[in-house]
Structure 1
Amino acid sequence: MKHVVFYDADCPLCSNARRIIERLDWFERIYWIPLQEIEKTEYKLFITQNRNVYDEIHMITSKGKVLKGFDTVRRVLTLLPISFPISLILYLPFIDKIFSPLYRWISKNRYDWFGRYDSPQQQ
């Protein structure tokens, strides 16, 4: 089973990050679902159970664990051969105390900084 990542297709930062990660996902371990299309998938209940899906990126791991925000970012980086060594640093003690708030700050301001697509991007 693949890891499932839910991303905001209206967000240029999120969509561009997904495109880059897809190119680096050489073993195709990640399946991406735009939040704007989640109703068309078997994961439609996920959005009602996780109310802040637009605030932070969410992931369901291949083992069924739900991750969000910085935890999703560092898990995704462990799945990519090229970023795996660097991703291990993100699991050091107290790293999340720095990067979780940083992630939330970037996420909160992403539309102000990068804009917003007028309609969902089909990719």
Structure 2
Amino acid sequence: MNRHIVFFDAECPLCRTVKAALKKLDWNDAIFWYPVQEVSESVKERVNGYKNMYDEIFMYTKDKQMLTGFDTVRRILSILPATMPLALLLHLPFAKIIGDPAYRFVSTRRYKWLGRVTYNKS
């Protein structure tokens, strides 16, 4: 598989909605979306050296980089042709200063705001 792998929380309504929208914009099929709920315990232990997989979105890039949170969002948007202009704005010098805390603010409150849905492996 020569695609980026994005690990997302399939019990999070926001995450599922964003994934569905971005998947429609992935005309080149460049991203493989993988639910965190299906990640093996051994992989979770290795990845938890970065952060808890349930706390932030993770991406394992084609060039074997591990990205989390806002950095993942920027990379995803830069891969998709339709969102590339937005990605350029998110790479301006001040964007990370604002983007990291904004991402964490939403991420830590998403269940409180939107609840949690049951994930059924299909």
Say whether the fold is shared (TM-score over 0.5): yes
Listed as ranges, the matches of 1:12-51 within 5 Å are 12-39=13-40, 45-51=42-48
1:12-62 per-position Cα deviation (integer Å, ceiling 9, x unaligned): 0001111111000000000010011112xxxx5431122211101000001
Measured in 1, the distance between the counterparts of 2:24 and 2:73 equals 16
1:94 corresponds to: 94
Q: Displacement of 1:94 after TM fit?
A: 2.3
Percentage of matched positions with identical amino acids: 43
2:109 corresponds to: 109
Measured in 2, the distance between the counterparts of 1:22 and 1:70 equals 18
1:68 corresponds to: 68
* Matched residues, number: 118
Question: CA distance change for structure 1 residues 9 and 89 in 2, over 3 Å: closer, same or farther?
Answer: same
Q: Displacement of 1:64 after TM fit?
A: 0.4
- Give the secondary structure class of the aligned counterpart of 1:92: coil
Q: Displacement of 1:122 after TM fit?
A: 4.5
- Give the secondary structure class of the aligned counterpart of 2:7: strand
Question: CA distance change for structure 1 residues 18 and 122 in 2, over 3 Å: closer, same or farther?
Answer: farther
Amino acid at match of 1:83: T
With structure 1 as the length reference, what TM-score do the two structures score? 0.91
Where does structure 2 lack aligned partners over 5 or more consecutive residues?
none
Measured in 2, the distance between the counterparts of 1:28 and 1:101 equals 30
Measured in 2, the distance between the counterparts of 1:121 and 1:11 equals 13
Amino acid at match of 2:79: L
RMSD: 1.3
- After TM superposition, the runs of 4+ consecutive aligned structure 1 residues lying more than 3 A away are none
